[in-house]
Structure 1
Amino acid sequence: MVSEEVGDKYFCILVDEARDISKREQMAIILRFVNNHGILTERFFSIKSVSDTTSMNLKNEISNVLVHHDLHVKKIRVQGYDGASNMRGAWNGLQALFLKDCPYAYYVHCFAHRLQLTLVSAAKGVNVIWKLFSHLDNIVNIVISSTKRIPELHIAQRNEIEYMLSIGECDSGSVLGDHSPNGRAKAEVREIYRNMASFEFVFILNLMHKIIRTSYTLCQIFQRKSQDILTAITFVTTTKTCLQEFRECGWNEFLQEVKVFCSRNEIDMLDLDCLYKIGRSCRQTTIEHHYHIDVFNAAIYFILMELNTRFNEPSVELLSLSTTLDHKNSFDSFNIDDICKLATKFYPGDFIDQEIVALEYELIYYKLDVMQNLKVSILVELCQQLIENGQSNVYVMLIRLIHLVLTLHVSTTTTERAFSAMKHVKTALRNKMEDDFLVDCLTLYIERGLAKHIDVNSIIDEFYALKSRMTQFR
Structure 2
Amino acid sequence: MFIVKFIVSFNFFLTPVSHCSGSATALHKQTNVVKNDYRIRLNASIDVSRHLLHQGLPFRGHDESEESTNKGNFLELLKYIAGQNEVVKKVVLKNAPKNNQMTSPPIQKDIVHCFSEEVTRSIIEEMDNDVFGLLVDESADASDKEQMAVVFRFVDKYGVVKERFIGVIHVQETSSLSLKSAIDSLFAKYGLSLKKLRGKGYDGASNMKGKFNGLRSLILKENSSAYYVHCFAHQLQLVVMAVAKKHVEVGEFFYMISVLLNVVGAFCKRKDKIREIDRQKVEEKISNGEIKTGTRLNQELSLQRPGNTRWGSHYKTLLRLEELFSSIVIVLEYIQDEGTDTTKRQQAYGILKYFHTFDFVFYLELMLLVMGLSDSLSKAWQRKDQDILNAISLVKTTKCQLQKVRDDGWDAFMAEVSSFSEKTNIGMLKMEEEFVDSRRPRKKTGITNLHHYKVDCFYTVLDMQLQEFNDRFDELNSELLICMSSLSPIDSFRQFDKSMLVRLT
Bin for the TM-score computed over the shorter chain: 0.5 to 0.7
After the TM superposition, which residues 305-316 of structure 1 pair with which residues of structure 2 at under 5 Å, given as runs?
305-313=467-475, 316=476
Distance 1:6 1:145, change over 3 A: closer
| Alpha-carbon displacement from aligned partner over 1:120-152 (angstroms, at most 9, x marks no partner) | 222334332122112112212222565543332
Distance across 2 between alignment mates of 1:97 and 1:301: 34
Report the alpha carbon displacement of residue 253 of structure 1 after superposing the two structures with TM. Answer: 2.0
Between the aligned partners of 2:258 and 2:136, the Cα distance in structure 1 is 31
Alignment of 1:331-370 (within 5 A): none
Largest Rg, 1 or 2:
2
2:219 and 2:245 map into 1 onto residues whose CA distance is 35
Which among 356, 375, 393 is matched to residue 234 of structure 1? 393
Assess if the C-alpha contact under 8 Å between 1:123 and 1:299 holds in 2: no
Cα distance in 1, alignment partners of residues 156 and 492 from structure 2? 13
**For residues 275 and 403 of structure 2, what CA distance do their matches in structure 1 show?**
38
Question: Whole-Å Cα distance in 1 between the matches of residues 258 and 220 of structure 2?
Answer: 42
Match of 1:202 in 2: 361
Map 1:383-394 → 2, pairs under 5 A = 383-386=489-492
> Do the aligned partners of 1:41 and 1:226 also contact (CA within 8 Å) in 2?
no
Within the candidate set 302, 326, 332, 2:464 is matched to 302
Look up the match of 1:350.
none
Deviation of 1:299 (Å): 1.4
Structure 2 counterpart SS, 1:284: coil
Q: 1:182 to 1:68 in 2, by over 3 A?
A: closer
In terms of mean alpha carbon deviation, does 2-11 or 43-52 score higher? Answer: 43-52
Match for residue 95 of structure 1? Answer: 216
Deviates more, 1:105-114 or 1:255-264: 105-114
Q: Describe the shift of the 1:229–1:121 C-alpha distance in structure 2 as closer, same or farther (beyond 3 A).
A: same
CA contact (8 A) 1:40 1:226 kept: no
Aligned pairs for 1:363-378 (under 5 A) are none
Q: 1-side partners of 2:352 and 2:226: how far apart?
A: 53
1:201-232 deviation line (CA, Å, top 9, x unaligned): 01210110111010112223444558655433
Match of 1:76 in 2: 197
> Structure 1 125/40 Cα, relative in aligned 2: closer, same or farther at 3 Å?
same
Conserved 8 A contact 2:126-2:156: yes
1:105 equivalent to 2:264? Answer no
Shift of residue 401, structure 1, vs aligned partner: 5.7
Correspondence for 2:65: none
User: Are the aligned partners of 2:484 and 2:501 in contact in 1 as well (CA < 8 Å)?
Assistant: no
User: C-alpha separation between the residues in 1 aligned to 2:498 and 2:423?
Assistant: 60
- Corresponding residue of 1:175: 330
| 2:137 aligned with 1:16 | yes
For residues 229 and 420 of structure 2, the distance between their equivalents in structure 1, rounded to whole angstroms, comes to 42
**Match runs of 1:66-465 below 5 Å:** 66-144=187-265, 148-167=269-288, 168=290, 172-173=326-327, 175-176=330-331, 177-178=334-335, 179-181=338-340, 183=342, 185-224=344-383, 229-277=388-436, 280=443, 282-285=445-448, 287-313=449-475, 316=476, 319-320=478-479, 322-324=481-483, 382-386=488-492
Gaps of 5+ in 1: 327-378, 406-474
Q: How far apart are 1:175 and its partner, in Å?
A: 0.6
Equivalent-residue separation in structure 2 for 1:297 and 1:93 (angstroms): 34
Greater relative contact order structure (CA < 8 Å, 6+ sep): 1
Gaps of 5+ in 2: 1-121, 292-322
Count of residues in correspondence between the two structures: 341
* Percent identity for Structure 1 against Structure 2: 35
1:415: which partner in 2? none
Q: Which amino acid aligns with 2:492?
A: L
Q: Is the 8 A contact 2:358 2:427 kept in 1?
A: yes
Q: Give secondary structure in 2 for the equivalent of 1:283.
A: coil
Does the CA-based 8 Å contact 1:56-1:94 persist in structure 2? yes
In the TM superposition, what whole-angstrom CA distance separates every residue of 1:259-310 from its partner, at most 9, and x where no partner exists? 222222232333344343577555232x344323332222111111221122
| Cα 1:45/1:265, change in 2 over 3 Å | same
Deviations 1:446-472 (CA, angstroms, capped at 9, x unpaired): xxxxxxxxxxxxxxxxxxxxxxxxxxx
Instruction: Tell which deviates more after alignment, 147-156 or 191-200.
Output: 147-156
The structure-2 alpha-carbon separation of the partners of 1:298 and 1:399, relative to structure 1 and needing over 3 Å to count, comes to: closer
Amino acid at match of 1:385: D
Q: Name which of structure 1's ranges 186-195 and 16-25 shifts more when overlaid on structure 2.
A: 16-25
Shift of 1:38: 3.5
Shift of 1:76: 0.3
Cα 1:288–1:158, aligned 2, differ >3 Å: closer, same or farther? farther
Counterparts in 2 of 1:221 and 1:42: CA distance versus 1, 3 Å: farther
Preserved CA contact (<8 Å) 2:133 2:152? yes
Q: How far 1:111 sits from its partner (Å)? A: 2.9
| Residues 274-283 or 129-138, more deviating | 274-283
8 A Cα contact 1:39 1:383, kept in partner? no
Equivalent AA in structure 2 for residue 293 of structure 1 = V
Matches of 2:375 and 2:436 in 1, distance apart? 35
